[in-house]
Structure 1
């Protein structure tokens, strides 16, 4: 699966899995059903729906770029991390959540 096949919500999540500035691996947590409130009408809101989750799931299994991801879903909350060297880190709980796309309750 190629980048161009991803839904917009899936792209928004994947773009956040690596902090470009210092090249650190980051966890991104999102809620299926999230819709961003946008104050600036020029800005495109981020929406992550079930089809975005399915797109992410397929991409992480079939991507053609060689990157390996770990995704875990508990009800509607999903965490995704880009793996270094294809292995889940021993200290996964110590890796910060870099970005959250979650509805405020």
Structure 2
């Protein structure tokens, strides 16, 4: 499966896994059903639906770029990891999640922004 065959939501997730720095493993966590709202600062919001998950699942098994991924799903929460040595590390919990695409995380960020805006106005 090639990059062009992926859905837009799947591309958004995979682009985040490619942000490897200092040989650290990057974990991206997302919720199937996640939807961002378009804003002035974010005119191209991320949406991750079931078809994006299916596209990612297929890509992680059949990609033509010799990249190895590990994907784990628990209900609607999915973690995807780009593996450097094609081996899952023993202590995966030691690695922080690099990027979240989860509705509860989005709500927390929005509430924090609202609090900051209201304290700035005082």
TM-score with structure 2 setting the length: 0.80
Q: Distance in 1 between matches of 2:81 and 2:93?
A: 12
The match for 1:13 is 13
Q: Which runs of 5+ in 2 are unaligned?
A: 108-122
Contact 1:29 1:79 in 2 (8 A): yes
Q: Do 1:19 and 1:25's aligned partners in 2 also have CA atoms closer than 8 Å?
A: no
- CA separation in 2, counterparts of 1:3 and 1:47? 18
Match of 1:56 in 2: 56
Q: Which has the higher helix share?
A: 2
Q: 1:87 to 1:44 in 2, by over 3 A?
A: same
* Unpaired segments ≥5 residues, structure 1: none
Matched, 1:84 2:118: no
TM-superposed deviation, 1:28: 0.2
In structure 2, the CA distance between the partners of 1:17 and 1:42, relative to structure 1 (3 Å rule), is closer
**For residues 13 and 81 of structure 1, what CA distance do their matches in structure 2 show?**
10
Q: Structure 1 residues 22, 37: CA separation in 2 closer, same or farther (over 3 Å shift)?
A: farther
Whether contact under 8 Å (1:18, 1:25) holds in the other structure is no
Normalising by structure 1, what TM-score? 0.92
> SS state of the match for residue 85, structure 2?
helix
Structure with a larger share of its residues in strand: 1
* Count of aligned residue pairs for this structure pair: 105
Name the structure 2 match of 1:3.
3
- Secondary structure at the aligned position of 2:57 is classed as helix
SS at match of 1:16: helix
How far residue 84 of structure 1 moved from its aligned partner, in angstroms, is 1.4
